[in-house]
Structure 1
Amino acid sequence: MNRLVSIVSFVVFPLVVQAQSFVTDRPMVHDPVMAREGNMYYMMSTGRGLQMAESADRKTWRVWRDVPLLDEIPAWTHDSVPGFRDHVWAPDIIRWQDRWWMAYSCSTFGKNTSAIGLVSADSLRPLSADGRNMIKWRDEGPIVCSKGKRDNWNAIDPNFIIGEDGMPWLVFGSFWDGIQLVRLDSTMHMARPAYQRTIARRVTNGRENPVEAPFVFRHDGWFYLFVSWDYCCRGMESTYKVVVGRSRTVAGPYLDRDDKDMAEGGGTLVIEGDKKRYEAAGHSAAYRFDDEDIFICHGYSIADKGASVLVQKKIKWTEDGWPEIE
């Protein structure tokens, strides 16, 4: 695809003349996250420039075709990640200090030369009447980058969490040395002095570490770390599942229900494919909307021959404080 480079060193997508949208109660998404502003919910997910959808009730979604959430991708991403073009992975978004902050993943399959970029905006009210993306994103540069043969971790799959001190942290990672935790500063970049540690790994067959897609959810004095085990992106051959551990502090350690450290392979099962509706399910997020805790992920739909669709479930908490998905 041809690209135009602007004078501010951004790569700009071609203009969409007539944006098209459709409404569905079964959106096909990959790596979904959500945010709410006013009376609207916004869903962001993997896709060209990131896919976006909006809903007033989280039941029916208006999905915008050919309207990327990031209609400008900074040129630095292409310098940092050779081979990366415009297929952006696994975003996360948070409201902090009266501003929206969104992290996104730039990578290529099977390599750990990757980057997590950051943009910010005042508002998420994204569309004009004709479907143009009106969010005024500000490029905030990279948060963290990894490089093959230099780093034994992978800078993808970001998730923001506000720690017990009120400051932001970032969990991220997949495979290689597993899930990483870093401390951020007030600009949402790496704090100094640097703090980074591995908080979840799962070595199998003496070599592979199939763990990724971390998400930390705070509930009743605990930090719950959800991660996905095994393999995504294979349609009906996918084996994704989600496990969880918890900690009293954001820095961990995160222990499962049997008190096994997730950094040593621990994890209590939350959801997997039921082999009736979903062959596999993973890459999760959790939110409290009003008085309800919800869990979302994507599931590989058996009815749709392995297509990836949105899964939403209520979280029920056990007496001893563990999440169960209804």
Structure 2
Amino acid sequence: MKSIGYTLLCLLGVSLLSHCSGDKGKGDVGLVPNIRNVNPRAAAVGDRILIVGSNFGDERGIVTVAFDNREAEILSLENGKIQAVVPPSDVVSSSLTVTVADRSSNVFPFTYVYPTPEIESLSEILAAEGTEISITGTGFGNRKEDVTITFGEKPANIVSVSEHSIKVIVPDFAGKRTVEVVVKVKQKPSNKIDFSYLVVSYRNPVSTWSLPDPTLIKAADGRFYLYATEDTRNMPIMTSQNLIDWTFHGTAFTDANRPTFEPDGGLWAPDINYINGRYVMYYSMSVWGGEWTCGIGVAVADSPTGPFTDRGKLFRSNEINVQNSIDPAFIEDDGKKYLFWGSFRGIYKIEMSDDGLSVKTGVAKQQVAGTAFEGVYIHKRAGYYYMFASIGSCCNGLNSTYQLVVGRSTNLSGPYVNKSGTNMMSNGYTLLVSKNASFVGNGHCSQIVQDKEGNDWIFYHGFRTDNPTGRVLLLDQLHWDEYDWPYIGNSTPSITAAAPVFD
């Protein structure tokens, strides 16, 4: 009788605890779903979890899994098991429920796990307030509202957030130059990384004096001394403590002690060095167009401000058989001293005496670059010798085509090649600085100097397009790419830029 009554009730549509045989495959529709366990009970957004319980059914269309009011993606569904994906959230603690049709389960506690953010690098470790920089790392998520960034105690404005990168605006300077950058995601802090405020900027040109072919040296007094082709007669001496603010100090020579081996010649393209306890200046002396009578001389002084005593001619073009023997560049390497020189008739190298005041007896000159170049400077770095040089016309005002170029070699004597491997003997080169709307005829660089932060800086000259009355002094930071090739910004002179860092 009991089984007959049970069957009759089912046929009449009356549910007896929803156990009619026709509903078994539907998962006990009509019973309240129950969550017994969640594995794991703490997980990150996007992780898979397994919900174990009863009365879930197997009809996806009527089953939802929610973390508070955030619906989760259901991956699989059985009457007693649901596999789901943890949905995005802005909380740590959440309440998980399963709803079947209009019946909701018990509430099961769930904890969101957020990875500890980690900073790997900053796109700029030295920048001015208001600069946009990128923070690279892991565990940042993708919600700006979850992230806070501080520079020291100053909160920063966040531009964008992704799992591995954050773009942020450097906040206002708060009196401390170097600060620690921290990223917090859901208040979980990252590691700390140092950032330095750039509180000074500069504008090119750094001097409006006409200072072609600059050369400079840092003296024992901590100041920089810069010399240039004599658009100021007898060769100007400029001084600075920060590479930006330059003051005229005087001249390297006077009419009384001026070099005379080319009586009507001008003093061009000096090269200043400190050799054996003295300041040694190599200089060119030439009349424009006098390519066989020009030559290179040397002068010495105990102070960078002089007075420089001329030690006379090293050689003339017709004596050393190198046409247009100007633009000297000294380098000391492995205990030996060398002079490079030349202008559009080949670049040459020769060994010098131990005191640097004469050509070493019995040595021969060697050509190291072709006929496209002049004004070379040799810089040794990271196992390479870099030949900086200039191409084009230097001195035609706004029609000047001067450009600064570079090649390199693993040997001081060459071969020097460009990025593509073309030999500089065949006039190959890699462009370093060209013209822009503000400056043309940019070339003939100085020595490279480093600031307190280890940044490299280089001077060169150019014509201002708004006032092309002289070759003014331009300054730029020299960067190095991943293959140790130098570059300057967009390969043109900067207009305004971050300043060198000095005490």
After TM superposition, the runs of 4+ consecutive aligned structure 1 residues lying more than 4 A away are 72-75
Shift of residue 82, structure 1, vs aligned partner: 5.3
Shift of residue 74, structure 1, vs aligned partner: 5.8
Partner residue, 1:11: none
Deviates more, 1:229-238 or 1:297-306: 297-306
Residues 1:151 and 2:325 aligned together:
no
CA displacement, residues 272-309 of structure 1 (integer Å, 9 cap, x when unaligned): 111x1112201112313342211210011112135311
Report the Cα distance in structure 2 between the residues aligned to 1:26 and 1:83, rounded to whole angstroms.
Answer: 27
Structure with bigger gyration radius: 2
Residues 1:27 and 2:214 aligned together:
no
Q: Which amino acid aligns with 1:170?
A: L
Report the Cα distance in structure 2 between the residues aligned to 1:73 and 1:233, rounded to whole angstroms.
Answer: 29
Residues 1:174 and 2:337 aligned together:
no
Alignment equivalent of 2:270, drawn from 72, 75, 91? 91
> Is this contact kept in 1: 2:215–2:270, CA < 8 A?
yes
Shift of residue 195, structure 1, vs aligned partner: 2.4
TM-score when scaled to structure 2?
0.52
Aligned runs of 1:194-213 on 2, under 5 Å?
A: 194-202=363-371, 210-213=372-375
Q: Which amino acid aligns with 2:391?
A: W
Report the Cα distance in structure 1 between the residues aligned to 2:255 and 2:468, rounded to whole angstroms.
Answer: 33
TM-score when scaled to structure 1?
0.80
Q: Give % identity.
A: 29
Partner residue, 1:313: 476
Residues 269/306 of structure 1: CA separation in 2 closer, same or farther (3 Å cut) = farther
Residues 1:218 and 2:388 aligned together:
no
Shift of residue 183, structure 1, vs aligned partner: 1.0
Shift of residue 52, structure 1, vs aligned partner: 1.5
Shift of residue 73, structure 1, vs aligned partner: 6.5
2:445 aligned counterpart, secondary structure: strand
Q: Which amino acid aligns with 1:161?
A: I
Unaligned runs of 5+ in 2: 1-205, 490-503
Residues 27/60 of structure 1: CA separation in 2 closer, same or farther (3 Å cut) = farther
Residues 250/74 of structure 1: CA separation in 2 closer, same or farther (3 Å cut) = farther
Partner residue, 2:416: 254
Partner residue, 1:283: 444
Report the Cα distance in structure 2 between the residues aligned to 1:195 and 1:72, rounded to whole angstroms.
Answer: 35
Report the Cα distance in structure 1 between the residues aligned to 2:419 and 2:211, rounded to whole angstroms.
Answer: 30
Unaligned runs of 5+ in 1: 1-23, 127-134, 203-209
1:147 aligned counterpart, secondary structure: helix
Aligned runs of 1:1-12 on 2, under 5 Å?
A: none
Report the Cα distance in structure 2 between the residues aligned to 1:49 and 1:26, rounded to whole angstroms.
Answer: 18
CA displacement, residues 175-222 of structure 1 (integer Å, 9 cap, x when unaligned): 23x1111111112121122221111113xxxxxxx4211111111121
Report the Cα distance in structure 2 between the residues aligned to 1:253 and 1:72, rounded to whole angstroms.
Answer: 42
> Is this contact kept in 1: 2:435–2:442, CA < 8 A?
yes
Q: Which amino acid aligns with 2:413?
A: A
Report the Cα distance in structure 1 between the residues aligned to 2:336 and 2:472, rounded to whole angstroms.
Answer: 33
> Is this contact kept in 2: 1:297–1:310, CA < 8 A?
yes
Alignment equivalent of 2:405, drawn from 221, 239, 243? 243
> Is this contact kept in 2: 1:253–1:261, CA < 8 A?
yes
Q: Which amino acid aligns with 2:239?
A: E
Q: Which amino acid aligns with 1:98?
A: G
| CA RMSD of superposed structures (Å) | 2.0
Partner residue, 2:297: 117
